[in-house]
Amino acid sequence: MGSAYSRAALRTRIHALIFNQDLPSIFLTLNPADIHSPVALYFAGVNVDLDNIRIEQLMTTYKRAETIASHPVATAKFFHLLITNILDTMIVGDVLGPVKAYFGTVENQGREDIIKEDLDQFKDEYVFENFDVANTWSTPPRLTRDSIYAAISTTDLSGFKQNIYESGILSTPMKELSSSSIFHDSPSPNKLLQTPTHDRLKSVTYASHNVSKLIPACLPTPNPSSPNFAARFRADVVQLVEANNIHKHSDTCYKYWNANRGDKKSCRMRMPRKLIPVSTIDPDTGHISMRRSDPWINSFNEYLITACRSNMDIKLIWSGSDAKALVYYITDYVTKMSLSFHDTFALVQKSITSLKTASNQTDTESAIEKSRKLVLRCYNTLASQQELSGVQVASYLMNWNDHYTTHKLEGLFLIQIERYLQTQLNKMRTKQKLEHSVHDVTDDDVYDNEETIDGDDNNVEEHFQIQSAESDKKYVLVNTRVDYQYRSEILKDICLYDFVSTLYKKKMTATDLKYLSKTAVSIEENVNQKGRLPNERYPFQKQHPQATAYLMLKYSNLHVPILYGPQIPRRDRDETRERYSRALLTLFVLWRTVADLCDFNRTWEDALKSRQHLISTYSWKIIENIQLLHEYKK
């Protein structure tokens, strides 16, 4: 992530995915150790036999770090290759259970040899059945035992079906559990999926003497086809967890602690954690307490940690007030500014110096104006001048994004379409007032102050794109609103949100003209046709300025609309209820003109109440997700 603008764009994309796909269920952090990876060294030009790792090939830790730091392209390639393979084969491959969407951001931690991936995952809907109910967001429902057990059986906080860690470092006394909780009676744990122990490590060793001397991150992942794979895999997990995933206190654990304020000295990572002998579920709130038998180990998944060969963390996001705060925190955390304090201070000092030496300074400027210019200069400097490592630069040059996601997203400038509709409605009302005045009718209209819905930003004009029409010599002004208004009659039953998600505009070709010229194709011809069927195409109505040159083509896979501009407000605030109602009508009710959405003598709130039955069940789910994200900010 680079500038402040790109971070804001990533937050908007995450919010769009939450609106469309429900709330995230898992927060996962991967921290690949490139300085210990033979693959990264291989990309950096080191002669390494990846099938037979030897200690002399890997050099010392310092030499490996020096090699990786001097080859940022190799490091970026290693990270991209590792993350894409983990996502494609393990995350999408249901290692963590059925996953319908994910969104991961890349963070550079100030060193060229460490890049981190923060990942939000969206589990399949059947895991959390209460999310399918439209009005169950304000108060947690009483979950059934079957639905909770189904969630437990498909998801696991620690990465194992049941923790049975028997390490000698247990120190926190176990407390008795409340009798009102439900005990999860899990099946007997698979030997392969047991949490590693010191005793088990002693009984399983690698045959190679050289391999045993290497740090665990340098070792290759055990081959499933190798003899005694189960024992090798357990030993590999043991070494990785004990080397990388056991928390050790450092100064950063107490950076917010202030002894002068009388603060209690506690680790901000909440270590050590409380021991829990048995996984339990509160049937009233749905809160799940997963079994924990070691207070210092970060949560992990055995398959992911063997793939990334480094430390990781995984957290489940359940329902309830704590989960609401966690979701909002995560969306901000994964897009946080990476600029350090000393760099920020230096940039602010640079802004102050440049403002003092500016030639356009006048003595007549007030203190308020000077302060405004200083704040603006500092903001622009911090937003535009960011420290980027060589790995980040290499990633951008190789056209590798700073985020990974399952879905493609498509922008929609909603506020501009709303303002167009508001302008048209105001014109209708003005026309009606003039007609009333002719007949000497004076009454107090309910729409006198409708122009103030958008506040001070109401004067922003609608934006258009300049595109060619019938020929390249003629150009017209078009945008998404024009495309939707004059869509094909076949698409009359699609709302604006689904229109953006399903269709895109393209210039007509000979193939498109041939497709449109065909009459109804028989079912037999469709069945006998070989290969993938062509994407559906829809012409515009003749009123569209590009009706003869462009058409709408259906996406092969649905896209997720990104709602640019001011957020849709909360539904429970009187001062923004008109804007809220107008936004929902614009997005989820079918229309071609403003008259389809709101009568001239009614408010937007009344119009929504009278037309809410026209909104589909799928759209109501998106509306509930929009409201939920607002509640998480509390």
Structural domain contains residue 304: yes
DSSP state of 545: T
Type of residue found at 474: K
DSSP state of 461: P
Question: Among 318, 333, 348, where does a domain finish?
Answer: 333
Q: Please indicate, yes or no, whether residues 319 and 463 belong to a single structural domain of this protein.
A: no
pLDDT for residue 114: 43
Instruction: Taking residues 582-589, report their average pLDDT.
Output: 96
Question: Among 287, 307, 333, where does a domain finish?
Answer: 333
Helix runs in 336-489, H state only: 341-356, 367-384, 390-397, 414-438, 480-485
Q: Of residues 261 and 632, which shows the higher confidence score?
A: 261
Strand locations in 187-287 (E): 280-281
**199-203, 382-386, 425-429, 480-484: segment of lowest average pLDDT:** 199-203
Contacts of 244 (CB under 8 A, 6+ apart): 33, 216, 217, 305, 310, 311
In this prediction, what percent of the chain has a pLDDT beyond 90? 30
Instruction: Taking residues 481-490, report their average pLDDT.
Output: 94
| Element of type H or E holding 314 | strand 312-316
**Residue from 327, 265, 313, 292 nearest 31 by CA:** 313
* Cα–Cα distance measured from residue 91 to residue 70, given in angstroms and rounded to the nearest whole number: 31
Q: Please indicate, yes or no, whether residues 38 and 166 belong to a single structural domain of this protein.
A: yes
Phi, psi of 39 (to 5 degrees): -65, -45
Contact yes or no for 582/421 (Cβ under 8 A): yes
Q: Is 114 exposed, middle or buried (0-12, 13-18, 19+ CB in 10 A)?
A: buried
DSSP state of 91: I
Residue 77: pLDDT band (50, 70, 90) is very high
Q: Please indicate, yes or no, whether residues 465 and 325 belong to a single structural domain of this protein.
A: no
Residue 440: pLDDT band (50, 70, 90) is low
Tokens linked to 311:
């430390």
Structural domain contains residue 452: yes
Residue 55: pLDDT band (50, 70, 90) is confident
pLDDT for residue 184: 41
Q: Please indicate, yes or no, whether residues 319 and 444 belong to a single structural domain of this protein.
A: no
pLDDT for residue 489: 93
Q: Please indicate, yes or no, whether residues 430 and 327 belong to a single structural domain of this protein.
A: no
CA angle 134, 137, 142 (to 5 degrees): 95
pLDDT tops 70 at residue 119: no
**Residue from 592, 366, 422, 614 nearest 491 by CA:** 592
| Structural domain count of the chain | 2
pLDDT for residue 133: 29
Structural domain contains residue 351: no
Beta bridge partners, 122, equal 101
Contact yes or no for 596/589 (Cβ under 8 A): yes
Contacts of 550 (CB under 8 A, 6+ apart): 467, 505, 506, 507, 508, 540, 544
pLDDT for residue 198: 40
DSSP state of 593: S
Structural domain contains residue 262: no
Q: Is 71 exposed, middle or buried (0-12, 13-18, 19+ CB in 10 A)?
A: buried
Residue 73: pLDDT band (50, 70, 90) is very high
Q: How many CA atoms lie within 13 A of 535 on its CB side?
A: 16
pLDDT tops 70 at residue 534: yes
Q: Please indicate, yes or no, whether residues 599 and 492 belong to a single structural domain of this protein.
A: yes
In this prediction, what percent of the chain has a pLDDT beyond 70? 72
pLDDT tops 90 at residue 132: no
Contact yes or no for 628/321 (Cβ under 8 A): no
Structural domain contains residue 359: no
**391-395, 451-455, 510-514, 535-539: segment of lowest average pLDDT:** 451-455
Contact yes or no for 261/276 (Cβ under 8 A): no
pLDDT for residue 270: 85
Instruction: Taking residues 487-502, report their average pLDDT.
Output: 95
Structural domain contains residue 260: no
Q: Which long-range contacts (CB under 8 A, 24 or more apart) does 600-604 make?
A: 600/425, 600/428, 600/429, 600/432, 600/447, 601/429, 601/432, 601/445, 601/446, 601/447, 602/446, 602/447, 603/446, 603/447, 603/450, 603/578, 604/453, 604/578, 604/579
Q: Please indicate, yes or no, whether residues 287 and 429 belong to a single structural domain of this protein.
A: no
* Cα–Cα distance measured from residue 486 to residue 480, given in angstroms and rounded to the nearest whole number: 10
Peptide bond into 227 cis (omega under 30): no
pLDDT tops 70 at residue 186: no
pLDDT tens digits along 563-582: 998 999 998 888 999 999 99
Q: Please indicate, yes or no, whether residues 301 and 447 belong to a single structural domain of this protein.
A: no
**128-137, 369-378, 519-528: segment of lowest average pLDDT:** 128-137
CA distances from 557 to 478, 499, 618 (A): 25, 13, 17
Instruction: Taking residues 622-633, report their average pLDDT.
Output: 86
Helix orientation angle between 4-21 and 321-333, rounded to the nearest 10 degrees: 140
Q: Which long-range contacts (CB under 8 A, 24 or more apart) does 422-431 make?
A: 422/450, 422/451, 422/453, 422/454, 422/458, 422/582, 424/593, 424/594, 425/450, 425/594, 425/598, 425/600, 426/450, 426/451, 428/594, 428/595, 428/600, 429/600, 429/601
pLDDT for residue 339: 60
pLDDT tops 50 at residue 129: no
**184-188, 308-312, 587-591: segment of lowest average pLDDT:** 184-188
Alpha carbon dihedral 224, 229, 235, 236, in 10-degree steps, equals -10
Which string of b and e fits 195-229 if b means at least 16 CB within 10 Å?
A: bbbeebeeebeeeeeebeebebbbbbebeeeeeee
Instruction: Taking residues 509-517, report their average pLDDT.
Output: 84
Q: Please indicate, yes or no, whether residues 316 and 426 belong to a single structural domain of this protein.
A: no
Structural domain contains residue 360: no
* Cα–Cα distance measured from residue 128 to residue 288, given in angstroms and rounded to the nearest whole number: 13
Rg of the chain's alpha carbons, rounded to an integer? Answer: 30
**Residue from 240, 218, 217, 236 nearest 228 by CA:** 236
Residue 135: pLDDT band (50, 70, 90) is very low
Q: Please indicate, yes or no, whether residues 319 and 421 belong to a single structural domain of this protein.
A: no
* Cα–Cα distance measured from residue 484 to residue 488, given in angstroms and rounded to the nearest whole number: 9
Structural domain contains residue 380: no
**89-93, 247-251, 286-290, 546-550: segment of lowest average pLDDT:** 286-290
**Residue from 254, 247, 253, 249 nearest 299 by CA:** 247
Q: Please indicate, yes or no, whether residues 307 and 438 belong to a single structural domain of this protein.
A: no
Question: Among 333, 351, 373, where does a domain finish?
Answer: 333
For residue 495, the enclosing domain spans 412-631
pLDDT for residue 187: 38
* Cα–Cα distance measured from residue 409 to residue 562, given in angstroms and rounded to the nearest whole number: 6
Tokens linked to 508:
């007509």
Instruction: Taking residues 228-234, report their average pLDDT.
Output: 92
pLDDT tops 60 at residue 149: no
pLDDT for residue 169: 33
Q: Please indicate, yes or no, whether residues 420 and 547 belong to a single structural domain of this protein.
A: yes
